[in-house]
Structure 1
Amino acid sequence: MKILIIGAYGTFGSRLSQLLANKSQLTLFIAGRSIKHAEQFCKTIDKNVAKILPLYFDRNDLEIEKRLKSIQPDIVIDATGPFQFYGNDPYHVVKACLATSTNYMDLADGTQFVKDISQFDSQAKSKNLFLLSGVSTCPVLTATVVRSLTKGLHEIHSIKGGIAPSPYVNIGPNVIRAITSYAGQPMSVVRHRQLIIRYGLTETMRYTISPPGYLPLKNRRFSLVDVPDYQILRDLWPNINSIWFGAGTIPESLHRLLNYFAWLVRLRLFPNLSSFSSIIQQVMNNIRWGERRGGMFISIEGINNQGHTYERSWHLIAEGDIGPFIPTLGIDAIIHRILNGKIPTSGARAATTDLELEDYDNLFKKLGIITGQRESINKTNTSLTLYQKLLDQAWYQLPYSLQRMHSYTTNTIVAGIAKVERGTSITSKLIAMLFRFPQAGQEIPVQVVFKPNIKGELWTRTFAGRSFSSWQMEGHGRSDKLLNERFGPFTFGLALVINSEKLYLIVRNWSFLGIPLPSFLAPNGISYEYDNNGQFCFNVEIKHRLTGLIVRYSGWLEKA
Structure 2
Amino acid sequence: MHKLKPNIVIHTSGPFQAQGYEVAQACISCGAHYIDLADGREFVAGIDQLDDKAKAAGVMLISGASSVPCLTSALVEHYKDEFSVLEELNYGITTAQKTARGLATTAAILSYTGKGFVTLANGQPKTIFGWQSLHVRKYTGLGWRLLGNCNVPDLDLFPKRYPQLKTIRFYAGLELPFVHFTLWGLSWLVRIGLIKNLQPAAAKMLKLSFMFDFLGTENSGFHMTLIGKDNKGKTKTINFELIARSGDGPYIPCMPAILIAKKLANEKITSTGATACIGIIDKNEYLTALKDLDISWIQSAS
- Is contact 1:146–1:298 with CA below 8 Å preserved after alignment? no
What residue ranges of structure 1 are gaps of 5+ in the alignment?
1-67, 211-215, 377-560
d(CA) in 2 for partners of 1:292, 1:103: 34
- Aligned pairs (5 A) from 1:321-340: 321-340=247-266
Match of 2:295 among 369, 386, 392: 369
Question: Is 1:174 aligned to 2:174, yes or no?
Answer: no
d(CA) in 2 for partners of 1:322, 1:167: 13
**SS of 1:219's equivalent?**
strand
RMSD between aligned residues: 1.5
Q: Partner residue of 2:28?
A: 98
What residue ranges of structure 2 are gaps of 5+ in the alignment?
none
Question: Is 1:72 aligned to 2:22, yes or no?
Answer: no
d(CA) in 2 for partners of 1:209, 1:333: 28
Equivalent pairs, count: 301
**SS of 1:71's equivalent?**
coil
Match of 2:148 among 223, 246, 249: 223
What amino acid is the match of 1:319?
R
**What TM-score do you get using the length of structure 1 for normalisation?**
0.52
**What TM-score do you get using the length of structure 2 for normalisation?**
0.95
- Is contact 1:149–1:313 with CA below 8 Å preserved after alignment? no
Q: Could you report, residue by residue, the CA deviation over 1:294-329 in whole angstroms, capped at 9, with x for unpaired residues?
A: 111111101122112111111111111111111111
- Is contact 2:8–2:261 with CA below 8 Å preserved after alignment? no
d(CA) in 2 for partners of 1:220, 1:375: 22
d(CA) in 1 for partners of 2:54, 2:48: 10
d(CA) in 1 for partners of 2:22, 2:264: 25
- Aligned pairs (5 A) from 1:202-221: 202-210=132-140, 216-221=141-146
Match of 2:62 among 114, 132, 136: 132
Question: Is 1:345 aligned to 2:271, yes or no?
Answer: yes
d(CA) in 1 for partners of 2:187, 2:268: 45
Question: Is 1:308 aligned to 2:238, yes or no?
Answer: no
Deviation at 1:185, TM superposition (A): 0.8
Deviation at 1:340, TM superposition (A): 4.7
Question: Is 1:293 aligned to 2:219, yes or no?
Answer: yes
d(CA) in 2 for partners of 1:230, 1:171: 24
Q: Partner residue of 2:191?
A: 266
d(CA) in 1 for partners of 2:168, 2:259: 26
d(CA) in 2 for partners of 1:273, 1:241: 31
Deviation at 1:127, TM superposition (A): 2.7
Point out the structure with the larger helix share: 2
Deviation at 1:144, TM superposition (A): 0.7
Match of 1:144 among 49, 74, 77: 74
d(CA) in 2 for partners of 1:281, 1:81: 15
Deviation at 1:366, TM superposition (A): 2.0
- Is contact 1:153–1:305 with CA below 8 Å preserved after alignment? yes
Q: Relative CO higher for 1 or 2, CA cutoff 8 Å, sep ≥ 6?
A: 2
Compare CA radii of gyration and give the structure with the larger one.
1
- Is contact 2:246–2:294 with CA below 8 Å preserved after alignment? no
- Aligned pairs (5 A) from 1:377-456: none
d(CA) in 2 for partners of 1:307, 1:200: 35
Structure 2 CA distance for partners of 1:280 and 1:345, relative to 1, 3 Å: same
Match of 1:232 among 144, 157, 175: 157
Match of 2:18 among 73, 80, 85: 85
